[in-house]
Amino acid sequence: MKAVFLIKNGKASTAFEMRDIPTPVAGAGQVLIKVEAFGLNFADVMARNGMYKEAPPIPCVLGYDVAGVVTEVGPSVTNVKPGDTVTAMTRFGGYAQYAVTDARATSKIPAHMDMATATALTTQFCTAYFAAAEMVNLHPGDKVLVQSGAGGVGTALIQFAKYKQCEIFSTAGTKEKLQYLKASGVQHPINYTTHDFEKEIKTITGGKGVDVIFDAVGGKSVKKGFRSLASGGRIVCYGAADMSDKNIFGKVKAALDFGIYHPVMFMMASKAMIGVNMLRVADDRPDMLQRCLEAVTSLAEKGVFAPTIGKIFPVAEIAIAHEFLETRKSMGKVVMKWQE
């Protein structure tokens, strides 16, 4: 089979190489999927830039989410069978014509959904669901800020917050993205290139702040977010995009910009900071991942979750697709498709 290997850290144009390798075999509890489409995630960009310590050593095959047809199941797999059309979270290895993964990270694609769209359900929508439904319990009327709301995870968070009847604030960096946020039901879209989100929140809430923040920007954004929380507020930190394009000094500064916190600060202000890493959840709590995936698929069946496809690229254009995601041009999910 063909697989796209990351052979070099750094710029996308020289980072990848297509190679022929043996097709993997499904072991106990695993499924083998003939991949029709695989998704890009911002973590792939971080891995390409050598900033993702969990990524396998180079040369390696990246890829967290695939959609395709099950061709083989290992012993003790009961939730899917050969011939099923599925979406699955892969622990790397997704940039390939076949991918093997844990059956518990695999779910049948909702009846009305195409394969490309379904790639968004596993990593991005599961992360959003885990953050918003398991780590934070959203209530009707809650004021919720979704940073980078036009992105993959951001889109899912907004859809879930809307379903929970929250008042939604969300940031993005272009006019087009702000229109997308409005069309998605965001009551308070904020262009972070022209407006300071902390000041905007202060003004709109009359100084009270918001109840929940989802932040994958990191650095100063977290410090300002923590200040923007109302009493009883929670900030969910699940990424550090701010660090992706910086040199070592910039990274150290961004790390310090997060701020320094003491439990007494949380207690006195009655605020909480929550960390989310789906890779840890997938590795250590596959049962939890399975629960999230089932909930996400069920919400997608009901139409609550409806991933947006930002752009579909042929696999040969992997470098262009990486640049598209890295340079903040994408909205929703970026998908790669194998050509027939």
Ligand X SMILES: NC(=O)c1ccc[n+]([C@@H]2O[C@H](COP(=O)([O-])OP(=O)(O)OC[C@H]3O[C@@H](n4cnc5c(N)ncnc54)[C@H](OP(=O)(O)O)[C@@H]3O)[C@@H](O)[C@H]2O)c1
Scanning residues 253 to 282, which ones bind ligand X (CB under 6 A)?
Answer: 276-278
- 242 near ligand X, rule: CB under 6 A: yes
- Applying CB under 6 A, which part among 68-76, 78-86, 95-103, 325-333 lies near ligand X? 325-333
Q: Tokens 């042929």 belong to which residue?
A: 314
We find the least distance from the C-beta atom of residue 81 to ligand X, in angstroms, to be: 29
Q: Which of 5, 16, 38, 42 binds ligand X (CB under 6 A)?
A: 42
Q: Which residue has the tokens 């790397």?
A: 92
Which one of residues 162, 202, 220, 328 is an interface residue with ligand X (CB under 6 A)? 328
Q: Give yes or no for a contact between 214 and 127, defined as CB atoms under 8 angstroms apart.
A: no
Cβ-count burial of 51 within 10 angstroms (0-12 exposed, 13-18 middle, 19+ buried)?
Answer: middle
Using alpha carbons only, what angle is made at residue 126 by residues 123 and 129, rounded to the nearest 5 degrees? Answer: 150
Joined tokens for residue 74:
């290992």
8 Å CB contact between 239 and 45: no
Counting residues that bind ligand X (by CB under 6 A) gives 30
Q: Which two tokens stand for residue 165?
A: 């009847």
Is there binding between residue 133 and ligand X (CB under 6 A)?
no
**Residue 169 CB: number of other CB atoms within 10 A?**
26
Q: Which of 72, 198 has the CB closer to ligand X? A: 198
Site string for ligand X, 90-129 (x = CB under 6 A): ---------------------------------xx--x--
Does the protein bind ligand X through residue 289 (CB under 6 A)? no
142 is a contact residue toward ligand X (CB under 6 A): no
By the rule CB under 6 A, 134 interacts with ligand X: no
Q: Which is nearer to ligand X, 77 or 306 (by Cβ)?
A: 306
Minimum distance between the CB of residue 210 and ligand X, rounded to whole angstroms? 17
Q: Work out whether 132 is an interface residue with ligand X (CB under 6 A).
A: no
65 contacts ligand X (rule: CB under 6 A): no
Cα–Cα distance measured from residue 96 to residue 99, given in angstroms and rounded to the nearest whole number: 6
Token pair belonging to 263: 């439990």
| Nearest residue to the partner ligand X, using Cβ | 151
User: Letter for the amino acid at 80?
Assistant: V
* Residue 24 interacting with ligand X (CB under 6 A): no
- Picking from 239, 192, 191, the residue whose alpha carbon sits closest to that of residue 219 is 239
248-257 vs 220-227: helix axis angle to the nearest 10? 10
Looking at residues 148 to 207 of the shown chain, list those that interact with ligand X (rule: CB under 6 A): 148, 150-154, 171-173, 177
Q: Which is nearer to ligand X, 138 or 156 (CB)?
A: 156
Amino acid at 335: V
In whole angstroms, how close is the CB of 309 to ligand X at the nearest point? 12
For 190, the 3-state DSSP assignment is strand
Taking the C-alpha atoms of residue 41 and residue 238, their distance in angstroms, rounded to an integer, is 13
**Contact positions toward ligand X, by CB under 6 A?**
41-43, 123-124, 127, 148, 150-154, 171-173, 177, 216-217, 238-239, 241-242, 244-245, 276-278, 325, 328, 330
